[in-house]
Chain A
Amino acid sequence: MEKAIKVEHVSKRYRLYHNAKERLLDLITPKEYGEDFYALHDVSLTVEKGDIVGFIGTNGSGKSTLSNIIAGVVPQTTGEVNVKGDTALIAVAAGLKNDLTGRENIELKCLMLGFSKKEIIAMEDDIISFSELGKFIDQPVKSYSSGMKSRLGFAISITVNPDILIIDEALSVGDKAFAEKCLDKMREFKAQGKTMIFVSHSIRQMKDFCDKILWLEFGMVREFGTVKEVIPNYEAFIKEWKKKTKEEKDAYREQVTAKQKEILLKK
């Protein structure tokens, strides 16, 4: 099988500063200031062409960071990312200009993706009808509800026909009917053999739609495998997690991050 996405030992480090002085000193002096925080730590992942991979994990586990890195929006700190083909990232209201109308945003967005004027005109009607915005299409985007924004974002991203589609919780804000429509479109893409990455909290949608699941925990891969392998474990984990008190949760987090540091030190 052809590899569509290859992520090798990717880490993403952010540096946390306590104040502006530390930040400045870190910037202009060779000495390091501030505290390291790893949003992703040594993540490796191979996605074959035509696979649909779901990213799961609790809040702050690095799902969005990883999808942003694969989409090429955010650079990784270390490691290699190889992506074959065009990617399109669909996140809630990503990159829409509030002062422009929906129609102008379509044109602008497509322009930035490198389409010519002719191609944009050809695509515009499809995008408008898919977004179901009706007469709102000529209203400024700032008057849109979050559901309408994500509908527009989704409509643009799927119409430009990318090789790899990354959907970051974009379906959670729209209504059921639109989410269903999007899922239909995604099934269509699935049938065409497109590669997709799906970030969502809805286990039901994951089961319904994905082939494989990547379970992230505090920036590390906890499990990667087929839906049948991973989802039951994850569900069991979530059940336990919900029962835990805040103290227990914090203790668990400490435990895992301590393990992370250990691995770091070994290197």
Chain B
Amino acid sequence: MGMLSIDGDSRCMANTIRKGIYMKSAWIILKEQIEHFYLIRRLSIYELKSKNKNNYLGILWEFLNPAIQILIYWFVFGTLRGRAPVEVAGVEIPFFSWLLAAFFLWTFFFQSTILGSKSIYTKLRMLSKMNFPMSVIPSYIIFSQFYIHLFMLGFTVIAFQLMGYPINMYYLQLIYFIFAAYCLMFSLSLITSTLSTIIRDIHMLLNSILRMMLYVSGVLWPLTLLSDHPKLVTILKLNPVLYLVEGYRSAFFGVDWYFITHWQYSLYFWALIIVLFVIGSTLHVKFRRHFIDFL
């Protein structure tokens, strides 16, 4: 028999039609993130440490795992089945280089979203108090993945020097796209961590959805393959991960300032982030007092 308690007032999300509460929640979360930035950074380091305490190679596994994964892809697509080169804004790029440019962005997104979704119900026991700024939890989980991503990014940059794509001015937009990725993952995690705490099945569902998303986010094959079906491409472009993936490629291959040349896409992306963030904050603020009752 499960134990659970819900307040009368948190019973129905639909009842919250009071305006202003959305903006207020978003503001609360934003303030918490800024005020507790130091805490987020410190906690993310402890997170990495404690996660890898039992392995002899320790934190090295965090880097080995994605590295092994891309080696497999390189073996399968690069040597066993030669894939045709891909065109990025008119420049022809060999398939493996094309894959490498955004692959670690995908692993960053995948790991952060999965871990972010279960962050609250796995970490809540650790907190001794409810007045702890709980929105910090998904944030520091993502941040710990960010360190790994930075390292993998460094690895990618070195690989590209050897492959003949030297550092260029367009690299600067990577900072913008990393920030954009962080905003996307945090907003998503606010929603999924709250929902997964209330209904654990959501986390399982998310797992499946993410596995599927790998194949439709333009990571493994270029959307230009679908150029005969422009409607389908438009639908696939609604996926915000695609925006980030394309942005990373533009940066590494130095073709254009992606977020400027595709400004409509940028507008769409940020509008979506704002909507997700406001939904996430509202859900989070509404339920956070009761998270402990759902454990």
Interface residues of A (CB under 8 A from B): 12-18, 20, 23-24, 26-27, 30, 34, 37, 71-75, 77, 87-89, 94-95, 97, 99-100, 104, 107-109, 111-114, 117, 140
Contacts and interface: CB of A to CB of B under 8 A. Distances in A.
Given A26-B6, A75-B292, A112 B1 contact: no
Interface residues of B, number: 32
B128 A113 contact: yes
Contact of A14 (B4, B51, B130): B4
Nearest to A35: B1
> Most A CB atoms within 10 A — which of B128, B290, B292?
B128
Given A71-B129, A97-B126, A100-B49, A18 B4 contact: no
Contact of B131 (A16, A72, A109): A72
6 contacts: A15-B4, A16-B1, A73-B128, A74-B130, A100-B46, A107-B46
Nearest to A74: B292
Contacts, number: 92
Contacts of A89: 128-129
Interface of B: 1-7, 11-12, 39, 42-43, 46, 49-51, 53-54, 125-132, 198-199, 289-290, 292-293
A94 B50 contact: no
Contacts of B49: 100, 104
Given A15-B6, A72-B129, A100 B50 contact: yes
B273 to A, nearest CB: 27
A132 B3 CA distance: 38
B2 A17 contact: yes
A73 B130 contact: yes
A188 B222 CA distance: 70
B140 to A, nearest CB: 11
B128 A12 contact: no
A24 B5 contact: no
Contact of A16 (B3, B127, B129): B3
